[in-house]
Chains A and B, each alone.
Chain A
Amino acid sequence: MSVIVLKDVSKTYRVGAVDVPALRGIDLEIRSRCLTALAGPSGSGKTTLLNLIGCIDRADSGDLIVDGTRVGELSDDVLSDFRATHLGFIFQSFNLIPVLTAHENVEYPLRLTNMAAAQRRERVCAMLEAVGLTAYARRRPGQLSGGQQQRVAVARALAAAPRVILADEPTANLDSQTASSIIELMRRMQREHAVSIVICSHDPQVIGAADDKVFMRDGRVESVQRSAVTYMPGAEAI
């Protein structure tokens, strides 16, 4: 079952007077409850593809269906609400809000869903516990290590129980040991919460850990490698 479907999706950037095609007629289906890696050399279009799937950029042509919703036709506000409820993001530079504590950072997406305060608190505590940062809840990002910040980012991405999590080079700013632990965490969370994760990465560790591997080159999907997925017993969408 596909959580994301792309049909003949194209995207061209205009750099000065030159049109630079980033994606050329992408046809792709991303399976639900899988960890999918978008791999390829720089300029292959993997980040652009991730941005389109994450609904933070719009395709020039083609159809993009995310969790059953044709997102290309949504207004900016509706798309914002869609992102808040259906998608989670993990960034290369963690992108936590520096003036908020770890707890508040994780809580922020929940505020956008109008969840009750008590429920929110419970949810945030559970997520911080899941990523092993309960003791750091009151710390601000500047008081956390890179790995801890990325763990907070993972907790934040999962907080609102999205169907899809999009991660752009999540291990690029981490040392290999920390990167491994983050990959392991993401893998575990993906299985425990039965969420679909799409990772854009150069990191062989990440690509190796993925269920499905999408190789891209020059704005096209070069190949897709899918492996058999065994869902964890008891895993369910949050």
Chain B
Amino acid sequence: MTLALAVRNLARNRRRSLTTLAAIVVGAVAILLFGGYTRNIRYGLQMGFVRSSGHLQIQHKDYFLYGSGNPAGYGITNYRHVMDLVRHDPVLAPMLTVVTPTLQLGGIAGNFAAGVSRTVIATGSDIDGQNELRKWNDFGFEGTPGNLALTGTAPNAAVVGEGVARVLQLCEPLHIRSCPAPEGAATSASRSAGSGLPPDIAALADAEVPQKLQDSPGAQVPGTSQGIAPPSAVAGSPRIELLAATARGAPNVASLAVIEADTQAVKDLDDIYVALHLEQAQRLVYAGDPPQVTSIIVQLHHTAQIPAARARLEQLLRTTLEDQPLEVQDYETLNPTYGQTIGFFAAIFGFIAILIGVIVLFTVSNTMSMAVVERTPEIGTLRAIGVRRSGIRKMFMMEGILLGLAGSVLGIIVALVLAFLINHGGITWTPPGRTDAVPLTVRVWGEPKPMLGVAIALTLVTVVSSWVPSRRGARTNIVSALRHA
């Protein structure tokens, strides 16, 4: 009877009930759509970071804090053994998708033909491993990224950030648009390949080549200014020289063929970004010494597996690999931008959710207060014929709960429809951390937890907002209520 009475009383004042319902629906839609939008950003960011740096990285202890750009001091020796151990560990193996090494180093990249150089951070990667990393798509994003530009290229091939290309005056040969050469820059005709290498650099490169050849028999040794022919795969590509310090502190130079400029989302990174093959980077840093890496990237099937995988890795580091000072870092630690961006959107979402909650609270409270005032004689009658105070309270609370439930359900339906329209509307935007526009997507469908959360939260809000008017109605003096005009 309480339910029937609540339904009929809501239907009794249709306009007011519909207005209140509309407020709840709009609130639910706003929360779900914005929540779906931020969720998509979170997933997109996470996917981007996991595709590039994995879920976890095994690094030399303190590399994260102090070792950036110092592969000599913080390299992982015998890294292949570590990778094999991880790959074949019975606990970790079912969770793994990719285990791949990477070596990061600092150096100076120069286009000596144009007489320009700049400091860079170069990352040497196993390209096949990197391509495998890029296949991770736990959130069902549409489309799959293509292989890296370095795929199948000669060992001396490199990709640079557009900022690096701009400073090194490589825009024209790399066919980069909107990249004007600075005033007084040398023309392309004057930057013929192989010309202008300073004698000291040329001598250094000259001194290194034989050693490299000895270190990597059979490998395609990178060309230098001294005339080692570049592989045909990179013939015609502009060349740069990458100067770095070896693990022993001696300078070393690699001559790289820049095959592409890859715009990085952050300008600071774009201005220093150089990607090259792992072997090339290792030869540059470790020369004749055993090659090392600065990180072993570990990618898992699912992000939720991080705690278990991390625990197992740390156990291995404490036991089997205790002879090496290694530690494990997760992608959130390695990419503080992720946490900052998520925190930023969470703060906005929280603010919006609270705002909507307050609006719904006051709207429902107002509706219920008016209902209590209007039905005061009815309250008096019901109390007189024997309804307890709790019965009156229950009656009004039921109306609030019904409004909350109906509003939430309708809100979810409307949000699903709107999300579908938005997702199929061809709207694009450029999210943080990306350089290309992507379809604007709001993730509502297939996310039962947020929908359930919104329904519960809004129903709770209506319960809270109905509580005070209901209590007031229940405590109304019977005689006064019956006299109420």
Contacts and interface: CB of A to CB of B under 8 A. Distances in A.
Interface residues of B, number: 22
B414 interface: no
Interface string B383-395: 1111111100000
B479 A112 contact: no
Nearest to B388: A80
Nearest to A57: B479
B384 to A, nearest CB: 5
B1 A56 contact: no
Contacts of A104: 1
B475 to A, nearest CB: 10
Interface stretch (A95-103, A177-185, A200-208, A209-217): A95-103
Interface stretch (B178-186, B268-276, B374-382, B417-425): B374-382
Interface residues of A, number: 30
B383 A80 contact: yes
A136 interface: no
Contacts, number: 69
Contacts of B482: 56, 91, 95
Contact of B385 (A51, A76, A99, A108): A108
Interface stretch (A36-44, A81-89, A126-134, A230-238): A81-89
B14 interface: no
B8 A112 contact: no
Given A57-B479, A99-B9, A89 B384 contact: yes
A219 to B, nearest CB: 16
A57 B384 contact: no
B308 interface: no
Contact of B386 (A80, A95, A96, A99): A80
Contacts of A12: none
A89 B377 contact: no
A156 interface: yes
B5 interface: yes
Contact of B381 (A95, A99, A111): A95
B142 to A, nearest CB: 51
Contacts of A45: none
Interface in B348-396: 377-378, 380-390
B478 interface: yes
Interface in A59-98: 76-77, 80-85, 87-89, 91, 93, 95-98
Contacts of A54: 384
B12 interface: yes
Given A91-B482, A95-B482, A99-B9, A156 B389 contact: no
A181 to B, nearest CB: 23
A111 B2 CA distance: 11
A97 B381 contact: yes
A109 interface: yes
Nearest to B5: A99
Interface in A97-124: 97-100, 104, 108-109, 111-112
A192 to B, nearest CB: 21
A100 B385 contact: no
A85 B388 CA distance: 13
A109 B386 contact: yes
A77 B389 contact: yes
B389 to A, nearest CB: 6
A109 B9 contact: no
B322 to A, nearest CB: 71
Contact of B378 (A57, A80, A83, A97): A97
Interface string B471-485: 000000011001000
Given A51-B479, A95-B482, A100-B8, A56 B383 contact: yes
A100 B386 contact: no
Contacts of B387: 80, 84, 112
Interface string B147-180: 0000000000000000000000000000000000
A93 B386 contact: no
Contacts of B378: 95, 97-98
Nearest to A81: B386
Contacts of B383: 56, 80
Nearest to B377: A95
Contact of A56 (B5, B390, B479): B479
B377 A93 contact: yes
Contacts of A82: 386
Contacts of A109: 385-386
A112 B12 CA distance: 24
Given A95-B378, A97-B382, A108-B382, 9 more contacts: A56-B479, A56-B482, A76-B388, A82-B386, A84-B387, A87-B386, A89-B385, A97-B5, A112-B387
29 contacts: A51-B479, A56-B380, A56-B478, A57-B479, A76-B388, A77-B388, A77-B390, A80-B383, A80-B387, A80-B388, A80-B389, A81-B388, A83-B386, A84-B387, A85-B386, A87-B386, A88-B385, A89-B385, A95-B378, A95-B380, A96-B381, A97-B382, A99-B11, A100-B5, A108-B1, A108-B382, A108-B385, A112-B385, A112-B386
**Top 5 closest pairs, chain A to chain B, by CB:** A84-B386, A99-B8, A56-B478, A95-B381, A83-B386
